[in-house]
Amino acid sequence: MCGIAGFWQSHLGHSLEVATRMGTVMESRGPDDAGAWVEESAGLGLSHRRLAILDLSPAGHQPMHSPCGRYALVYNGEIYNHEDLRRNLDSEGGGFDWRGHSDTETLLAALRHWGIEKTLKQLNGMFAFALWDSCEQELFLARDRMGEKPLYYGRSGEAFLFGSELKALKMHPGWKGEIDRDALALYMRHNYVPAPWSIYQGISKLPPAHFVVIRGKGRDIGEPRCYWDLAEVAEKGIASASGGPEALEEELDLLLRDAVGCRMAADVPLGAFLSGGYDSTMVAAMMQAQSSRPVKTFTIGFHEEGYNEATHARAVADHLGTDHAELYVKPEDAMAVIPRLPSMYDEPFSDSSQIPTFLVSQLARKHVTVSLSGDGGDELFYGYDRYFRADRIWGVLSRVPMPLRRMMSAAASHAPGHSIEWMMSLLPERMRISSFADRLPKLAELLTHSSGEAFYRELVSHAKHPGQLVLGAKEPDTLLSQPELLPQLPGLRERMMYLDMMTYLPGDILTKVDRASMAVSLEARVPLLDHRVLEFAWRLPTEYKFRDGQGKWLLKQVLYRYVPREMMERPKMGFGVPVEHWLRGPLREWAEDLLNESRLAEEGFFDPVPIRKMWQEHISGVRRWHYHLWDVLMFQAWLREQA
């Protein structure tokens, strides 16, 4: 795991110094080694920060040059099948004189021998890289299939820039950095800026499973090209798996063991995040089953009821026999992370589970350099509660005539909140719906959608009309607003999973894990996103994901081979912090400063009126607006960092 950066610009003075600065600012991504190189005649510079995982010797130093001198590579990530690739290269008689055993050297040899597209299709790993071809004067940028590793690129002034983090681009003297208000509107809807947008005009995120070719001294930026199409995987794979439950269970078990096993390759200590949930338990169980010594596992706990999974994680760790470390976090410990978030995430990002993700990464880094994570299981195997809610509610609503739904929506949106809560309090406790007065207006907004996809977009959106909050913005269309771009899938269940794999998973979950882990120089690996597991999941009939009222059915059957069913069957709990209560308590003064009406008006990005209204309603307890307010607060904190 590393950080990469570079530029391409004619007539840049002190270019080696600039390339070095672009790398230095990402030191936490690679504290073990640094390298910078420029080809003065071309005006191109490459920079690298190294976190040494495989081949700790100088043979893994980057930028790495091919023996013929034609190619130069900077690369961030891990190629898990690189030894197989080496054997294939040798068998084809390439005459390779291997200098070490790093996956960087393997990747460079493969790119030189097979070319970029054929190489990309053979890689099993997480990566972002830049390859310079000095003969053709072409620069290639590429990103892994699911977007585990980040890559920004674009023009700023006269320069073409790229890097793992935006802070590296800012080190170039040609940096402009004008905020994109349309991207800000997208952020307010999603709580992250989705690819291909970034918060800055002219700078894009390379979409997952794509590569792009740049020519003409950085002026000619090609269209990103897809080398692995998730839509095609989903459409062709859907429910095509053959065999009964026992055979499919065995196939999944073997696939997961191999996906976990190949991610255990490291020349440094490694462990696993363990929350006690199904996905992280699966990863820890598969690791322990393949390890001759206790695997190191890590959990953080909270004293607040409803936010603590540490006791469950401890029980799982005891059963598996792992070497378990846990840390109970006080509110002040978690809140102390907040000032670091703008620099850590580099652009506005407001999934509040960013805080515990950083804390568990910080705990793990005290013991290991690599940690495996259970992310991805919900998207692949139908695990989110919102899938059940959306499928159930839409199944009912779609049968209600639209005129009647509009009447219901109007009535729900105008219902007085205090009266509703009072009436709810009169019901028996088992019949009460938590925060019903707060949920009712949200339900009103969901009632009038004409398709399941539009209904789901509304369900997962934070700001429903972000163009009304962000001044001068026009929200761009995304996959979530263009259902006609979806592949042909049988129903809403499959389309929800596909939409999340294309948007929420790379934009939120994987971004969160990458930035939090890299802030403490920890490499996080995600075995459930091995593309072979993902392709199997799409071949699996939906009834093997959702059965008997529960998701992840087949995944759970595999897990029960390693962990008793009764240990795992408990309500699902999110990995979050009590931001709702903190904003009314210890964070109130901090929030009030950032949401000051004069400040909002002077900065000119938000309309202060609706934001102040949300703030007043939240602190008075009339409505819960903590998700929306956290979006605004994280942008405001990030903006203050830019000054």
Report the distance separating Cα 53 and Cα 85, nearest Å.
18
Contact 73, 129 (CB under 8 A): yes
Place of tokens 């909270």: 302
385-397 and 452-460 helices, crossing angle to 10°: 140
278-289 and 245-262 helices, crossing angle to 10°: 70
Contact 103, 82 (CB under 8 A): yes
> Residue 32: CB partners within 8 Å, gap ≥ 6?
50, 51, 52, 56
Which pLDDT value is given to residue 43? 94
Report the distance separating Cα 327 and Cα 469, nearest Å.
39
Task: Measure CA of the first residue to CA of the last residue in the chain; give whole Å.
Answer: 30
Mean pLDDT across the stretch 155-178?
96
Nearest to 209 by CA among 183, 232, 240: 232
- Residue that wins the pLDDT comparison between 513 and 400: 513
Which pLDDT value is given to residue 1? 67
DSSP code, position 207: P
Instruction: Please check if 301 is assigned to a binding site.
Output: no
What SS3 state is found at 611?
Answer: helix
Instruction: Please check if 229 is assigned to a binding site.
Output: no
Report the distance separating Cα 606 and Cα 604, nearest Å.
6
Contact 436, 424 (CB under 8 A): yes
- pLDDT classification of 424: cutoffs 50, 70, 90: very low
Which pLDDT value is given to residue 527? 98
What SS3 state is found at 253?
Answer: helix
Strands 71-79 and 125-133: antiparallel
What order of strands is seen across the sheet that includes strand 44-50?
33-39, 44-50, 2-8, 159-163, 152-156, 203-205
State pLDDT tens for residues 615-631: 999 999 888 899 999 99
Instruction: Please check if 144 is assigned to a binding site.
Output: no
Identity of residue 282: M
CB neighbours (10 Å) of residue 418? 10
310-320 and 278-289 helices, crossing angle to 10°: 20
State pLDDT tens for residues 405-422: 788 777 766 665 544 554
Identity of residue 160: F
For 495, the token pair is 């389309």
> Residue 357: CB partners within 8 Å, gap ≥ 6?
512, 513, 516, 517, 575
If you average pLDDT over every residue of the chain, what do you get?
Answer: 92
Report the distance separating Cα 353 and Cα 191, nearest Å.
12
Active-site positions read 2
Report the distance separating Cα 352 and Cα 630, nearest Å.
8
Which pLDDT value is given to residue 422? 47
- pLDDT classification of 251: cutoffs 50, 70, 90: very high
> Residue 254: CB partners within 8 Å, gap ≥ 6?
none
State pLDDT tens for residues 428-474: 554 444 555 566 666 777 777 778 899 999 999 999 999 999 999 99
Residue 465: phi, psi to the nearest 5?
Answer: -135, 70
Which pLDDT value is given to residue 242? 84
Strands 2-8 and 159-163: antiparallel
State pLDDT tens for residues 181-236: 999 999 999 999 999 999 999 999 999 999 999 999 999 999 999 999 999 999 99
Place of tokens 């307890």: 621
State pLDDT tens for residues 95-151: 788 998 899 999 999 999 999 999 999 999 999 999 999 999 999 999 999 999 999
DSSP H helices in 462-564: 492-502, 504, 511-518, 531-539, 553-559
State pLDDT tens for residues 579-592: 998 999 999 999 99
Which pLDDT value is given to residue 330? 85
The residue count for the chain: 643
Cis? peptide before 63, omega within 30° of 0: yes
Q: What is the DSSP string of 223-240?
A: PPEESS-HHHHHHHHTT-
Report the distance separating Cα 360 and Cα 544, nearest Å.
32
> What are the percentages of helix, strand and coil residues in the chain, rounded to 5?
50, 15, 35
State pLDDT tens for residues 46-82: 999 999 998 888 888 999 999 999 999 999 999 999 9
Strands 159-163 and 296-302: unpaired
- Tell whether the torsion through CA atoms of 11, 14, 19 and 21 is positive or negative: negative
Mean pLDDT across the stretch 171-189?
97
pLDDT of 514 strictly over 50: yes
What SS3 state is found at 525?
Answer: strand
Residue 437: phi, psi to the nearest 5?
Answer: -65, -30
Which pLDDT value is given to residue 601? 97
**Helices vs. strands in the chain: H and E counts, helices first:** 30, 18
Report the distance separating Cα 8 and Cα 141, nearest Å.
13
Cis? peptide before 196, omega within 30° of 0: yes
Report the distance separating Cα 96 and Cα 475, nearest Å.
51
> Within a 13 Å sphere around the CA of 463, how many CA atoms are in the beta-carbon half?
25
Which pLDDT value is given to residue 304? 66
Instruction: Please check if 393 is assigned to a binding site.
Output: no
Q: What percent of the chain has pLDDT over 90?
A: 79
Q: Long-range contact list for 448-452, CB < 8 A, 24+ apart?
A: 448/402, 448/405, 448/406, 448/409, 450/402, 451/483, 452/390, 452/394, 452/398, 452/491, 452/492, 452/495
- pLDDT classification of 426: cutoffs 50, 70, 90: very low
pLDDT of 294 strictly over 60: yes
pLDDT of 240 strictly over 90: no
> Within a 13 Å sphere around the CA of 125, how many CA atoms are in the beta-carbon half?
28
Contact 494, 234 (CB under 8 A): yes
Least confident of 210-224, 257-271, 324-338, 424-438: 424-438
For the chain, domains (ranges, CATH) are 2-228 (3.60.20.10), 257-376+526-568 (3.40.50.620), 385-498 (no CATH), 579-642 (no CATH)
Mean pLDDT across the stretch 350-368?
96
Q: What is the pTM of this model?
A: 0.93
Place of tokens 């990530």: 77
Contact 86, 106 (CB under 8 A): yes
Report the distance separating Cα 434 and Cα 394, nearest Å.
21
Mean pLDDT across the stretch 12-41?
94
Which pLDDT value is given to residue 326? 95
Report the distance separating Cα 421 and Cα 641, nearest Å.
40
Report the distance separating Cα 68 and Cα 518, nearest Å.
33
Report the distance separating Cα 622 and Cα 233, nearest Å.
46
Place of tokens 């990458």: 514
